[in-house]
């Protein structure tokens, strides 16, 4: 089986909303609902697990109505990586290693990913053990400390990570287990998988697969829909 993990446990304070951003509605659908439907429509996803904030479990369940692939809600942790690890432990306890091929981890705050990319990441991960969406950096970039540039980096070697990030389940679970006490030091699943010595394959991301984090992102998302750039 291939399992989708939708991470929706954040509080989204930077959006200046009075409630978590995953429940913000665009075209009468919450960001979480739009994301759930993308995974429901995927031909390669068998089950969907949603990681939720403990205070919003009931509200999260309501967003999962008529999602036939919905498996369960897992309570999130104190950080995104702890939340993902909670989901991985739930999957292991319920299914073990033998029944699960890959896990596709995606942020509920990225509702505009295409189903095509979800499926592509799974296909590549089944072949290579991993596949993450990423975009090449367009700007000049540097490494700096205390506002002083230490080194100008080659932007041709820089990629901006997106989700979904899809991995061989057994390898990812072992990577998380190895670094269980250091999860706060990592920024995404790929960094944990890579730190454990695993190969991480990049596939082309999508310009409109934005992460809605700030108030500006919400306005930009509305503009994208208004201009017909994306469908929700």
Residues 183-205: tens digit of each pLDDT: 999 999 999 999 999 999 999 99
| Contact yes or no for 79/183 (Cβ under 8 A) | yes
Q: Are 163 and 107 in contact (CB under 8 A)?
A: yes
Asked whether residue 108 is domain-assigned, the answer is yes
Give, in order, the Cα–Cα distances in Å from 132 to each of 72, 79, 121, 181. Answer: 24, 20, 7, 24
| Inside any domain, residue 55 | yes
Structural domain including 31 reads 2-226
The residue ranking higher by pLDDT, 13 or 172, is 172
Q: Grade residue 13 by pLDDT with cuts at 50, 70 and 90.
A: low
Domain containing residue 107: CATH number: 3.90.550.10
Q: Considering the domain boundaries, does residue 110 fall inside one?
A: yes
Name beta bridge partners: 48: 4, 70
Distance CA 52, CA 50 (A): 6
At which residue do the structure tokens 């073990």 appear?
A: 96
d(CA 49, CA 58): 15
> Rounded mean pLDDT of 7-18?
78
- Long-range CB pairs of 151-160 (<8 Å, 24+ gap) are 159/134, 159/135, 159/202, 160/134, 160/135, 160/136, 160/205
**Alpha-carbon distance values, 64 to 48, 168, 182 (Å):** 10, 26, 32
- Looking at residue 10, what is its pLDDT? 78
At residue 232 the predicted structure's pLDDT band, cuts being 50, 70 and 90, is: low
Q: Does the pLDDT of residue 12 top 80, yes or no?
A: no
231 in any annotated domain: no
Per-residue pLDDT tens over the stretch 124-167? 999 999 999 999 999 999 999 999 999 999 999 999 999 999 99
Cα separation values, 228 from 24, 36, 80, 208, Å: 20, 21, 32, 12
Number of structural domains, the chain? 1
pTM reported for the whole predicted model? 0.94
d(CA 43, CA 104): 13
């Amino acid at each position: 089986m291939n399992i989708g993990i939708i991470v929706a446990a954040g509080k989204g304070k930077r959006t200046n909303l009075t409630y978590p951003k995953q429940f913000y509605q665009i075209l009468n659908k919450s960001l979480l609902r739009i994301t759930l439907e993308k995974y429901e429509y995927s031909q390669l996803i068998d089950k969907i697990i949603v990681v939720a904030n403990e205070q919003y479990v009931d509200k999260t369940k309501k967003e999962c109505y008529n999602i036939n692939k919905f498996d369960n809600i897992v309570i999130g942790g104190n950080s995104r990586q702890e939340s993902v690890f909670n989901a991985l432990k739930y999957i292991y306890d319920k299914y073990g290693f033998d029944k699960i091929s890959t896990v596709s981890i995606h942020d509920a705050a990225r509702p505009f990913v295409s189903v095509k990319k979800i499926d592509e990441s799974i296909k590549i991960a089944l072949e290579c053990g991993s596949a993450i969406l990423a975009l090449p950096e367009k700007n000049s970039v540097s490494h700096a400390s205390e506002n002083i540039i230490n080194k100008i980096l080659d932007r041709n070697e820089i990629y901006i990570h997106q989700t979904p990030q899809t991995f061989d389940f057994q390898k990812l679970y072992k990577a998380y287990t190895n670094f269980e006490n250091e999860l706060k030091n990592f920024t995404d699943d790929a960094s944990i998988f890579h730190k454990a010595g695993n190969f991480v394959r990049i596939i082309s991301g999508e310009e409109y697969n934005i992460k809605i984090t700030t108030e500006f992102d919400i306005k930009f998302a509305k503009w994208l829909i208004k201009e017909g750039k994306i469908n929700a």
